[in-house]
């Protein structure tokens, strides 16, 4: 019996194992999440999630990346968990941005307080890459009893890569708006790279698009919307 268990465990980390991943862009539809000056959290989460899906599918042996939502729609916490559990994904990653009062910035990553060792390992691996991607304050790899972490059956994490309402030395929502490709790609790639390292798999190299200066053209009027910007 012990031998069978050992063979099963080794098979999970074999190059032949076909990994399936669930991405969960937080909020959506009537729930905008946090709101920055130029961008909503629900939009940022979806942008990052869709791009992360592309990157993760480039990881060898990852055969499927499901999304709890791929458009701007309402999805309840229960529905997100049911989707992940009913499809028996191997890992669950919930994508969020943080908010406070416009003065805080940094990166936090969570797993369930009583989660498995794989949950903690996935959290730590992903957190390191998210911190490296943006270079924001490391606010820690933490534990919490968030619904999607408690009730999913697989190792699960929730990332808060940035404070979308930060408006200090620069404006975070402006970066999502005007530096869309560079900013979204950095975060999305960090999720993919952290996951690949956690699974012990090769991850493709990637060079993101060039950043634009953190400045707003005085002649451009902006409204908060769900993608890009409105001139």
Active site residues: 160
Can you tell me the distance from the alpha carbon of 198 to that of 5, in angstroms, rounded to the nearest whole number?
A: 21
Burial 142-181 (b: 16+ CB within 10 A, else e): ebeebebbebbebbbbbbbbbbbbbbeeebbbbbbbbbbe
CB neighbour class for 59 (10 Å; exposed up to 12, middle 13-18, buried from 19):
buried
User: 107-112 and 91-98: which strand pairing?
Assistant: unpaired
- Give the strands of the sheet with 156-163, arranged side by side: 62-67, 19-25, 91-98, 156-163, 107-112, 138-144
| Token duo for residue 230 | 């409105």
Q: Does residue 227 contact residue 91 with C-beta atoms inside 8 Å?
A: no
| DSSP reduced 3-state for 144 | strand
């Amino acid at each position: 019996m012990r031998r069978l268990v050992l063979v099963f465990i080794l098979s999970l980390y074999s190059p032949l194992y076909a990994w399936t991943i669930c991405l969960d862009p937080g909020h959506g539809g009537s729930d905008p999440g946090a709101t920055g000056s130029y961008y909503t959290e629900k939009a940022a989460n979806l942008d990052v999630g869709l791009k992360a899906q592309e990157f993760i599918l480039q990881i060898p042996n990852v055969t499927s990346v499901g999304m709890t939502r791929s458009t701007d729609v309402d999805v309840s916490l229960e529905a997100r968990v049911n989707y992940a559990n009913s499809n028996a994904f191997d890992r669950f990653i919930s994508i969020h941005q943080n908010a406070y009062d416009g003065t805080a910035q940094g990166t936090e990553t969570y797993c369930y307080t009583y989660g498995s060792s794989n949950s903690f390992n996935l959290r730590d691996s992903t957190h390191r890459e998210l911190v490296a991607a943006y270079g924001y304050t490391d606010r820690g790899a933490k534990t919490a009893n968030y619904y999607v972490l408690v009730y999913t059956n697989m190792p699960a994490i929730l990332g808060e890569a940035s404070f979308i309402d930060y408006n200090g030395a620069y404006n975070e929502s402006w970066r999502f708006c005007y530096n869309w490709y560079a900013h979204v790609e950095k975060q999305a790639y960090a999720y993919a790279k952290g996951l690949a390292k956690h699974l012990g798999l090769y991850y493709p190299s990637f060079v993101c698009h060039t950043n634009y200066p953190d400045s707003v053209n005085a002649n451009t009027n902006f409204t908060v919307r769900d993608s890009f910007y409105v001139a």
